Chains A and B, each alone.
Chain A
Amino acid sequence: MGNLFTNYYELAAMLLFVIGFLTLLIQRNLIKKIIGMNIMDTSVFLFLAAKGYVAGRMSPIIRDGVTDASLYINPIPAGLVLTGIVVAVSTTAFALALALRWYQQYNSLDVDWTALKYLLKGEK
């Protein structure tokens, strides 16, 4: 089993990733799919931030000019996640705009129902 239960942050992040992935795959509604994508986003961010954390150290803001690397946590994951969160919003907005155009075209957000109603009938 190794470190499975001592790495509880990573464990939770992986479980959240799988749940978001299944929501993205299985749900038929586009809004649900987009929420699943957001859950995957945040789980990856949680994993990155958990890898950067070191127990007992402080956030990477230099206190009193003391530049000792053994006092602060890793600043790299924080920088990556900070930009990632904001980019996740813009991708969410883009996906929602696409979903709204889908609704305008097909009058439904259910992917399976739309396929049944229009695509198969149209091909026959």
Chain B
Amino acid sequence: MTFFEIMLLLFLIACAISIFFIKRLVNAVVVFMSYSAIMAVLWLSLESPDLAITEAAVGCGITTLLFILALKKVNALKEDGEADRDEHNI
């Protein structure tokens, strides 16, 4: 069980570091979504099931949707040919 938890924690750190380096914003948001899902599993292993329910609904659902809606509003979701719309040319 300890090994499992350490793997999940390492995955969390890897997700956070990759969010720092990912250029395309949609990918960063999706990685953040998987970060939240792993966090929900960790709440369960910390014997806090109510936190797991909340984090699963909030992190994977509502926060991600708000981020993706905001990206849609700033036209970061389109793949137009002239330039890849990453963090530096939005």
Contacts and interface: CB of A to CB of B under 8 A. Distances in A.
A touches B (Cβ under 8 A): yes
A44 interface: no
Contacts of A27: 20, 87
Nearest to A78: B48
A38 B70 CA distance: 15
Secondary structure call for the A interface: helix
Contacts of A12: 9-10, 12-13
Interface string A93-124: 10010011001000011100100000000000
A39 B47 contact: no
Q: Size band of the B side of the interface?
A: 35 or more
A103 B16 contact: no
B51 A78 contact: yes
Secondary structure call for the B interface: helix
B13 A49 contact: no
A16 B12 contact: yes
Q: Which of A50, A99, A109 counts the most chain B CB atoms within 10 A?
A: A109
A52 B5 CA distance: 16
A31 B12 CA distance: 19
Contacts of B10: 12
Nearest to B32: A35
A80 B55 CA distance: 14
Nearest to B36: A42
Give the 9 A-B residue pairs with the shortest CB-CB distance, closest first.
Answer: A29-B87, A12-B9, A19-B16, A59-B47, A96-B70, A109-B90, A78-B48, A53-B46, A49-B46
9 contacts: A12-B10, A23-B16, A29-B88, A32-B28, A32-B87, A36-B19, A45-B51, A110-B90, A113-B88
Interface of B: 5-6, 9-10, 12-13, 16-17, 19-20, 25, 28-29, 32, 35-36, 39, 42-43, 46-51, 54-55, 58-59, 62-63, 66-67, 70-71, 73-74, 76, 87-90
